[in-house]
Structure 1
Amino acid sequence: MCHSKMQWISSWASGETRVILLPEWMSHQVHQFIPITCVVTADYQLIPGHGYYKVHNVLLTWDEGRRLCEMDGAHMVVFDSQEEADAVFEIADCCPWVGVSRQNSRSPWMTVLGQPLSSTGFTGWATGYPLESGNCNMIFKNNGIGMINWICSLNLGVICEKPLN
């Protein structure tokens, strides 16, 4: 899902020029912007039949990971099948955040796309999960690929996804 973005071109003291994607709502905070369209770049890996994925190994809270994906014109990965979860886990380091969370222990699990987890086609929990506490999900491998829920302030990597269409 591509959202309207602005491209910030910044010249650094070293003479290096960096291009940084920012959400359009941040455009008033910086000065030199160029509108761009969503482009799948070389740093996203295609998994045929599923989408484009990028693993960020920088340690972030769940909400920081969500914002990072959005700033890249993507969303945190939401699995549609066990096959997709298995394929994506092959390119990821252990236990990155995925795009599933809940407001509190009594609320339903929802994806970053606003759909209930039960409607995604993948509701695979690791053995013994979900726990009563912990409102954000990561993917974990222990006798198969499954989700585990944990506290959202934990710092983990994140997987971003751009759909095929």
Structure 2
Amino acid sequence: MVQRMPPLPPQRSHRRDYNLVSNHGYYELHTLAKTWDEARRICLSEGSRLLVLNSVEEFTASKPIWDRNPDFIDTQHKGYIPVGLRNGKETTFLTDSGVTLTDMGYEIWDNNEPNDAGGNESCTSVKITGGLSDMQCDLKLAFMCEQEI
């Protein structure tokens, strides 16, 4: 008697120019600097989202993509890339889908962050060392898009 195996779940399509990071997803670093909103739109147009970190393991696993591409173009701060969090009410940072930073599982702020310097830091970035920082949304940075597995 031949036993039938259950069908495999459908594969999600991903862009071939994205890098697979095992157990986390597909990632693509864009080295041409854009504002937070421009970066978000580009990621959405590629069927992905602006990087949202869910764990230290995800940061550690995706960081080599950043390390392999040091030649950022027109970036204002080479040591940072934006992440998909914006300041909601008061000091709560939210993803596009309304999930709080605390619920995302990666709430590691850089020293003295968030600080809302100048009163207009409503977007969020991650430093190459792993600390989050609030930032001005019109700052131009290289950015990373991600697609879930």
**Are residues 1:102 and 2:58 paired?**
no
| Structure 2 unmatched ranges of 5 or more | 1-11, 71-78
**Are residues 1:136 and 2:123 paired?**
yes
Cα RMSD (Å) of the superposition? Answer: 1.6
d(CA) in 2 for partners of 1:120, 1:103: 15
d(CA) in 1 for partners of 2:20, 2:97: 20
Q: Which residue of 2 aligns with 1:158?
A: 143
| Correspondences of 1:1-165 after superposition (within 5 Å) | 39-92=13-66, 93=70, 94-103=79-88, 106-133=90-117, 134-141=121-128, 144-164=129-149
Residue identity opposite 2:123 in structure 1: C
Alpha-carbon contact 2:116-2:135 (below 8 Å) kept: no
Identity %: 30
| Structure 1 unmatched ranges of 5 or more | 1-37
Alpha-carbon contact 1:75-1:112 (below 8 Å) kept: no
Deviation of residue 113 (structure 1)?
A: 3.0
Number of aligned residues? 124
**Whose RCO is larger (CA < 8 A, sep 6+)?**
2
Scaled by the length of structure 1, the TM-score of the pair is 0.70
Residue identity opposite 2:64 in structure 1: E
Higher strand residue share: 1
Structure 1 runs (4+) greater than 4 angstroms displaced: none
d(CA) in 2 for partners of 1:56, 1:130: 25
d(CA) in 1 for partners of 2:102, 2:147: 21
Scaled by the length of structure 2, the TM-score of the pair is 0.77
